[in-house]
Structure 1
Amino acid sequence: MAFHTPPQKQQGHYRYDPTALHPMGPARIFPYTGEDGLLRYLFTRFGHRWLDQGKLSQPWDLLLQQMHRGLKQLDDAWSYLTTQLVDFELFQSGWLNLDLPPDEQFNASFVRERRTMTNALLAAKKASESIGSLEVGRLHFYDALQQHGYDRPETWQIHQREEGLSDREFARQRVAGQNPVMLRQIQPVDQPLLDSLRSQPLQLGNGDAIDLMQAAAQHRLFVTDYPLLQNLSAADLQPGRYVGSPVALFHQSPTGLEPILIQLEPGNIVTPGTNGGPADRWMQAKLFVQVADVTYHELITHLCDTHLAMEAFAIATPRQLPINHPLYRLLRPHFQFLLAINTRGNAVLLSKGAAIDQLMAPTRETSLELINRAYREHSFSDHALPKLIQRQGVGAEFLPDFPYRDDALLLWEAIARYVTRYLQRHYADNVAIQQDPYLQAWAAELGEPLASRPRSEFPQAPFWLPESVLAEMGLQPTQLPNLPRVPGFPAQLSSLQQLIEIATQIIFTCGPQHAAVNFSQFDYMGYTPNAPFAAYCQPGDCTSLKQLLPPKEQDLGQMELTFALSGIRWGKLGSPDLIQFHDVGDRTVLSQFQADLAAIEQEINTRNQHRVAKSGVAYPYLLPSRIPNSINI
């Protein structure tokens, strides 16, 4: 390829959002396409700015607030109407796509799935909202969903069987729950923690005493902790809600993983046999860990590390790669509807008064700050599954029973084979990679410091708009951060193996990784007493579990949200209906990938039979037949 002519029309449609230019945060799409979109943006921002800064007298302030509420209600009604009238193709066509680049909006097939889910959710809400008792309201909610073909949450059944969150189940959720990436082996950096616990008498469930130093030396000591949540002040939390930064210690014994100690705060240590305080103090401690875990899961593991981390790739790929470029054809199907769902998530999760404000402990502003900080904590390649397993010391030689790890590795290896076969067909050697100008431009957009990038990557305002207005609205950033869009991403690609590893990680993140942390949500958080979004008292102040758990409105709201977030499965990983290769050789590679996925399906089904026999619970989230081809919900 001797010439480099980037796809200019696509570069015009896909612009990065300059108002999301937090120095640490992920790159976002500017969801107002065209100059007409800029005018809509300015109108919206001016209104919010006048309200936030108190620039209006009270009558005008009240009027503008009423207008914003009316527009929000109108937008919700329009979304509901277009969902119900999905069979009229006009509603999903480009004629009504005002916010996204062409063909990035949801199609009719997806919206039909959303209609099915929406109708089931509305029926469940109606069945539960008139019931006085929370427990009975929950059952009515689940019964209504079952009538529409949806199962009750797995943890509801587990809690009925085990009379609450047992120690065994608490430990099992570290390796097979909604957030199975937090458990790590005790490492030298944890020595101060071990020293502080040296005098603490600890024992296993069978009564055997534990020597912490010996257990650590034998690679039997594991921990989940949440340092990102440390030092949150009262101003960082919603009034009346709490999330802390607990540390949970686990021991790998011959019978499996079991919890032995929870540090709620420095000096506040609870063990299964702790005396004094409320009778359910150990159960409360486990729930404080669950609150921290679901907070980290929703903000970081799910939202930041899958949805938002992949957005930069979904923007840079059409901006820099022609539609006939081999990497474009490989990656593009795995970005389908990503920009659409992320833009929708801005309203459903991240906007003022949305789910984070209503249900979680951190304020919206604090939540966004946590996301931005977490995004820069690790480089892109640090999130590669093999590196994660090695870094956290959770290989099979240390933890023989780890459903997420074992099933995810099958899929990682299959995707790596698929990507290798495909790219080797199009690149003969490292020189071919180095001399591909489109590929190098793609890497540069993702890996070069933003301060060195052209301003044309952001929206270009009409010439007649005053510069003072553009600056005030954030459309002309005066200084770009000296950081790349993707942390640690190479600004130049030097080898075929490097590209294989990058593409493998992108496809794995958009498919299996997102499936594992998304579709487990209703099973593990749809029964609120298993993992509440927030605690409603602080350690030391809770006199009962009921006081710690959310009130009815937030409990039902958590059920509704987690069902909505995991109630649609559209598309299937590796489907030829979604990956439409034209070249015969490429289609052969895809067929080999499909055969690998079919074999993995059989292997995981066999594993799940053993898991059910051992623990009573399967791990279905990484069955290839249940993994979408892209992040679309």
Structure 2
Amino acid sequence: MGNIFTSIKPNVSLPKDDDEFDIREKNLETARKNYQLEQKTHMFLDVEQRSMDDVILNLPPMLRKLPKEEKRSFLHEIRFIVHFLLHRLYCVFHQHLKWRIDRLIHFIISFLLFQRPKPSARYNRWTIEGMISHFQWSFFLNEPMGCKVWRKEAVDLPHQTSSQIAQADHWFAWQRINGVTRNLIKRVDEVPEQFLPFVKEIEKSHPYLSSQSLQVQIKQNNVYIVDLTEISLKEPKLLAPVALFTVYKNLLMPVAVWLNTKTHVDGEVHKPPPHGVKYGLRLRKWVEIRILFNMLEAQYHESITHLGFTHMLMDGVSVCMHRNLSDRHPIYKLLSPHFHYMHGINRDAQKVLISPGGYLDGVMYLRRDNMLNLISKHNEIWTFTTHASIPRSFETRGAMNIPGYFFKDDALILHEAIRKYVSEYTNYYYEKNDENVENDSEIQAFRNELTLERKIDGSGGCGMKGFPSFNTVQSLVDVLTTFIYICSVEHSATNFPQFDQYAFPPNFAAKLHCQPEQEKYTCEEYLDDIIPTRNETFSTIAIMKILTLRLTNSIGNYENHYLQAMDSNGRAFVQKFQQNLLTIKDCINQRNNEIREENKDVTCKTVLKEYPYEWLNPDNVLNSISI
């Protein structure tokens, strides 16, 4: 750790051991004035607000006003602004200028050759082929993974082979376990009710059921479901898709997608075409269903997985920490690096993304009202014990044995490293004594405000349900581990793959042009007809590049002022944590390198390939929700 901390002796103490308790209390009073909870109205008009009171009350509360302590450093602001301007200017150029320049050049050439110029609409139209070409030749943007897969597997092209069709299907399944929303998939014990009327239709010539019935596959624990019915908000006009998946040749593959369409009482089921089906309407229909399902999952991702239950949820936790734990408290020093710059980015999100006419209104299918409603509805059923613990989530979903679930493998090993670090740290400062936890007035006040009922005027707490009592060191360790995991691992896995997934809309669109709530939402002639416009696409590219900036430190590499606030024992625990993370990094790199080597060695073009998963390499995991 070096010698820069040897002369620093910070006060790290529990309330009972602090010789300057009066100063401690006075500082806490100041913190309570600076950090106050608020049930955000998110700029709804007064008349809207009255009808939205229940929605607002069930949203996770957030910081009322940003104190100066939470403002980003000047250097950080400059770096952020430079990146923002570069990406914004790039996208504005391609949104509004480049196609006009191309049109002018074409007009001049046509004039000189005495030819009739083509209609101007041709130049403003944005096609899948044009997107692929743009990413391949861009000097400024990397080609997103979704575009690479689409291009390499020749999706929706006449020369696409059967193995390429299957590989594209595997990518669709891979997105359910290693994409931006990875915690929905669960094993089924019986045929889901939505699929019961269609069992024979699904089983007939299915390419991935290995000539077995769906029931046999279920008995072999091979069938999994991703249920997106929650996003319909129980409104019949909104689609609520459900997808089934199976394990085929040790890879997750799609079985069928069910849609609750207006035109059919039982809905509709779509499945991958049988082996040997080539380019045509039948295959294009399946490709379109994949695009539609991904677009609808994107609404769940940005609402619940990302905004609601990382940014908003942890914002309230941080406020409660500042209000109830002295900056001398060892748990304050443990948690504070994981809230670094979070309140600042959340304030910016409220102004730019969630505000009326902001990003959510501009490029998301559900728009901000429905997305906030979705977060609110989910928070009604959310409990800490059921939803917050990632090991429990994998177990209750029966998802421990899905092949290629690399997010699960990496998340569990990182969670264990965090748990070990938190356990050693916490046990040391509480002297492995449960009574010291029970008698810690500050930690008990912290818990009380986390569980206190929310109030519309902001005078309540976070209203967390299913929250454990702090009556043992272990119960405290479990909660602190979860908080740190959400701020670091969960948010990084949710946030940083966004450019790879969203930047190429056919892979994972934020919205589509043939809106799914319409009775005829398919465009069977050209997939180009359903993708977002040039302006919408570049708006998405700009925001995703900004949201995936890494301007703060990776997990365990705390900024100096956090380390200086710890005593030598605390810093020793951090050093041990850092060593564990280096070991994890090596393991993840080794696995991904092995996958790449296996893919190179595949000489038979019919063998399906696995994809490496990089996002939970500790270098790619930030300490906090700082972007």
TM-score scaled by length of structure 1: 0.78
CA deviation after TM superposition for structure 1 residue 120, in Å: 3.1
- The correspondence for 1:493, drawn from 467, 470, 474, is 470
What corresponds to 2:76 in structure 1?
110
CA deviation after TM superposition for structure 1 residue 529, in Å: 1.2
- 1:605 aligned to 2:589? yes
What corresponds to 1:182 in structure 2?
184
What corresponds to 2:109 in structure 1?
none
* Matched ranges for 1:13-92 at <5 A: 13-20=34-41, 22-31=56-65
Q: For each residue in 1:290-337, what CA deviation from the matched residue of structure 2 results, as whole angstroms up to 9, or x when unmatched?
A: 011111111111111111110111101111111010110000110011
What corresponds to 1:515 in structure 2?
492
What corresponds to 1:134 in structure 2?
126
The residue type equivalent to 1:542 in the other structure is: T
What corresponds to 1:533 in structure 2?
510
Q: For each residue in 1:504-553, what CA deviation from the matched residue of structure 2 results, as whole angstroms up to 9, or x when unmatched?
A: 01111111111111000000111111111122223643123223222222
Question: Does the C-alpha gap of structure 1 residues 207 and 294 become closer, same or farther in structure 2, counting only changes over 3 Å?
Answer: closer
CA deviation after TM superposition for structure 1 residue 12, in Å: 0.5
Could you tell me how far apart the structure 2 residues matched to 1:181 and 1:206 are?
23
What corresponds to 1:630 in structure 2?
624
What corresponds to 1:252 in structure 2?
247
What corresponds to 1:405 in structure 2?
408
What corresponds to 2:11 in structure 1?
none
What corresponds to 1:300 in structure 2?
304
What corresponds to 1:355 in structure 2?
359
Could you tell me how far apart the structure 2 residues matched to 1:565 and 1:210 are?
44
What corresponds to 1:542 in structure 2?
522
Contact 1:182 1:224 in 2 (8 A): yes
- 1:385 aligned to 2:371? no
Q: For each residue in 1:489-511, what CA deviation from the matched residue of structure 2 results, as whole angstroms up to 9, or x when unmatched?
A: 24x41111111011101111111
Q: For each residue in 1:588-608, what CA deviation from the matched residue of structure 2 results, as whole angstroms up to 9, or x when unmatched?
A: 111000000111111110111
Contact 1:516 1:621 in 2 (8 A): yes
The residue type equivalent to 2:247 in the other structure is: Q
Could you tell me how far apart the structure 2 residues matched to 1:153 and 1:394 are?
28
Query: What secondary structure, in the 3-state scheme, does the structure 2 residue paired with 1:269 have?
Result: strand
The residue type equivalent to 2:200 in the other structure is: S
Query: What secondary structure, in the 3-state scheme, does the structure 2 residue paired with 1:259 have?
Result: strand
What corresponds to 2:105 in structure 1?
none
The residue type equivalent to 2:546 in the other structure is: A
Query: What secondary structure, in the 3-state scheme, does the structure 2 residue paired with 1:530 have?
Result: coil
- The correspondence for 1:417, drawn from 417, 420, 426, is 420
- 1:557 aligned to 2:539? yes
Question: Does the C-alpha gap of structure 1 residues 206 and 431 become closer, same or farther in structure 2, counting only changes over 3 Å?
Answer: closer
**Cα RMSD, aligned residues only:** 2.6
What corresponds to 2:453 in structure 1?
449
Question: Does the C-alpha gap of structure 1 residues 414 and 341 become closer, same or farther in structure 2, counting only changes over 3 Å?
Answer: same
What corresponds to 1:577 in structure 2?
559
Contact 2:417 2:581 in 1 (8 A): yes
Contact 1:124 1:140 in 2 (8 A): no
Bigger RCO (CA 8 Å, 6+ sep): 2
- The correspondence for 1:331, drawn from 332, 335, 342, is 335
- 1:586 aligned to 2:578? no
The residue type equivalent to 1:271 in the other structure is: K
CA deviation after TM superposition for structure 1 residue 123, in Å: 4.2
- 1:366 aligned to 2:361? no
Contact 2:410 2:588 in 1 (8 A): yes
The residue type equivalent to 1:401 in the other structure is: G
Could you tell me how far apart the structure 2 residues matched to 1:486 and 1:314 are?
14
- 1:158 aligned to 2:158? no
Q: For each residue in 1:468-503, what CA deviation from the matched residue of structure 2 results, as whole angstroms up to 9, or x when unmatched?
A: xxxxxx8x57xx78x85223224x411111110111
CA deviation after TM superposition for structure 1 residue 248, in Å: 1.0
Could you tell me how far apart the structure 2 residues matched to 1:114 and 1:267 are?
47
Q: For each residue in 1:369-419, what CA deviation from the matched residue of structure 2 results, as whole angstroms up to 9, or x when unmatched?
A: 111111232212322110110111110xx3132111111111101000000
CA deviation after TM superposition for structure 1 residue 207, in Å: 7.4
CA deviation after TM superposition for structure 1 residue 611, in Å: 2.9
Contact 1:128 1:141 in 2 (8 A): no
Could you tell me how far apart the structure 2 residues matched to 1:201 and 1:145 are?
42
The residue type equivalent to 2:69 in the other structure is: D
Query: What secondary structure, in the 3-state scheme, does the structure 1 residue paired with 2:69 have?
Result: coil
Could you tell me how far apart the structure 2 residues matched to 1:501 and 1:521 are?
29
Contact 1:244 1:288 in 2 (8 A): no
Contact 1:294 1:533 in 2 (8 A): yes
CA deviation after TM superposition for structure 1 residue 141, in Å: 6.1
What corresponds to 2:25 in structure 1?
5
The residue type equivalent to 2:57 in the other structure is: P
Query: What secondary structure, in the 3-state scheme, does the structure 2 residue paired with 1:200 have?
Result: helix
- The correspondence for 1:169, drawn from 171, 175, 189, is 171
- The correspondence for 1:376, drawn from 352, 369, 380, is 380
- Percent identity, aligned pairs only? 23
CA deviation after TM superposition for structure 1 residue 448, in Å: 2.5
Query: What secondary structure, in the 3-state scheme, does the structure 2 residue paired with 1:106 have?
Result: coil
Could you tell me how far apart the structure 1 residues matched to 2:353 and 2:292 are?
23
Contact 1:105 1:340 in 2 (8 A): yes
611-620 or 251-260, larger mean C-alpha shift? 611-620
CA deviation after TM superposition for structure 1 residue 145, in Å: 6.5
CA deviation after TM superposition for structure 1 residue 230, in Å: 2.5
Question: Does the C-alpha gap of structure 1 residues 297 and 564 become closer, same or farther in structure 2, counting only changes over 3 Å?
Answer: same
Query: What secondary structure, in the 3-state scheme, does the structure 2 residue paired with 1:568 have?
Result: coil
The residue type equivalent to 1:604 in the other structure is: I
Contact 1:520 1:621 in 2 (8 A): yes
The residue type equivalent to 1:208 in the other structure is: S
Could you tell me how far apart the structure 2 residues matched to 1:209 and 1:154 are?
32
Could you tell me how far apart the structure 1 residues matched to 2:189 and 2:311 are?
30
CA deviation after TM superposition for structure 1 residue 233, in Å: 4.5
- 1:200 aligned to 2:193? no
356-365 or 496-505, larger mean C-alpha shift? 356-365
Contact 1:334 1:630 in 2 (8 A): yes
Query: What secondary structure, in the 3-state scheme, does the structure 1 residue paired with 2:247 have?
Result: strand
The residue type equivalent to 1:185 in the other structure is: R
Question: Does the C-alpha gap of structure 1 residues 122 and 191 become closer, same or farther in structure 2, counting only changes over 3 Å?
Answer: closer
Contact 1:535 1:550 in 2 (8 A): yes
Contact 2:273 2:282 in 1 (8 A): no
Could you tell me how far apart the structure 1 residues matched to 2:270 and 2:196 are?
17
Question: Does the C-alpha gap of structure 1 residues 114 and 13 become closer, same or farther in structure 2, counting only changes over 3 Å?
Answer: same
371-380 or 206-215, larger mean C-alpha shift? 206-215
- 1:344 aligned to 2:339? no
- The correspondence for 2:399, drawn from 394, 398, 406, is 394
| Structure 2, gaps ≥5 residues long | 1-14, 42-52, 100-122, 156-164, 261-265, 600-608
- 1:263 aligned to 2:258? yes
Could you tell me how far apart the structure 1 residues matched to 2:622 and 2:233 are?
38
CA deviation after TM superposition for structure 1 residue 285, in Å: 1.0
